[in-house]
């Protein structure tokens, strides 16, 4: 059975971004990557007090998608995400159910009142996607600030690290 990464756009996500990420993830993980149809109806995860979406609740919904047991799911939403203990998260993973999510909002320069920069945005999307999929491989956070598994407390942490795994976190299949 072929192990796949299934990308699930949550709400409207630009096709060009999904296609680009598909190619990058196939190169990085040497797995087939498929883009599934758009998932809608996650408004119940919205917290109006925080103006954010509760990522853990979305992960539970992603976990219900039928697939082969070896498949990973990566949800992509163009919203700001949170978990109760933190002000925000760029993404979250559920290792047991093999599902992860990344939020695009905070990866955009415009979120911080800056001019859009497509290259920086794409680089951040790739790093966060690889990071969350790394968790699905069972990797924890890394102390090496250049490793993609380094915990990003801020966008500068994400910008500083690479999209690659350090020698401690090389994927062996």
| Burial label, 27 (beta-carbon count in 10 A; 0-12, 13-18, 19+) | exposed
Residue 53 lies in a domain: yes
Residue 70 lies in a domain: yes
Residue 82 lies in a domain: yes
CATH number of the domain to which 113 belongs: 3.40.390.10
Residue 34 lies in a domain: yes
Residue 172 lies in a domain: no
Classified as helix, coil or strand, 29 is helix
Residue 148 lies in a domain: no
User: What is the predicted pLDDT for the residue at 173?
Assistant: 44
Q: What is the pLDDT along the chain (173 residues), one digit of tens a residue?
A: 689 999 999 999 999 999 999 999 999 999 999 999 999 999 999 999 999 999 999 999 999 999 999 999 999 999 999 999 999 999 999 999 999 999 999 999 999 999 999 999 999 999 999 999 999 999 999 999 999 999 998 999 999 999 999 988 876 54
User: What is the predicted pLDDT for the residue at 1?
Assistant: 66
Nearest to 151 by CA among 93, 110, 95: 93
User: What is the predicted pLDDT for the residue at 106?
Assistant: 97
Where on the phi/psi map is residue 110: left (φ > 0), alpha (ψ -120 to 50), or beta? alpha
User: What is the predicted pLDDT for the residue at 170?
Assistant: 76
Residue 167 lies in a domain: no
The total of structural domains in the chain comes to 1
Give yes or no: 132 in active site: yes
Residue 115 lies in a domain: yes
Domain that holds residue 106: 4-140
Q: Model pTM?
A: 0.95
């Amino acid at each position: 059975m072929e192990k796949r990464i299934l990308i699930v756009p949550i709400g409207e996500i630009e096709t060009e971004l999904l296609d680009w990420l598909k190619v990058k993830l196939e190169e990085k993980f040497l797995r087939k990557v498929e883009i599934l149809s758009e998932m809608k109806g996650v408004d119940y995860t919205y917290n109006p007090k925080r103006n954010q979406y509760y990522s853990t609740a979305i992960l539970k919904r992603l976990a219900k998608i039928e697939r082969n047991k070896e498949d990973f799911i990566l949800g992509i939403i163009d919203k700001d995400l949170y978990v109760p203990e933190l002000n925000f998260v760029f993404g979250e993973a559920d290792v047991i159910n093999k599902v992860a999510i990344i939020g695009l909002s905070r990866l955009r320069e415009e979120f911080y009142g800056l001019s859009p920069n497509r290259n920086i945005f794409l680089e951040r999307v790739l790093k966060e996607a690889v990071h969350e999929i790394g968790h699905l491989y069972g990797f924890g956070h890394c102390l090496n600030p250049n490793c993609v598994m380094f915990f990003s407390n801020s966008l500068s942490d994400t910008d500083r690290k690479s999209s690659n795994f350090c020698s401690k976190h090389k994927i062996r299949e």
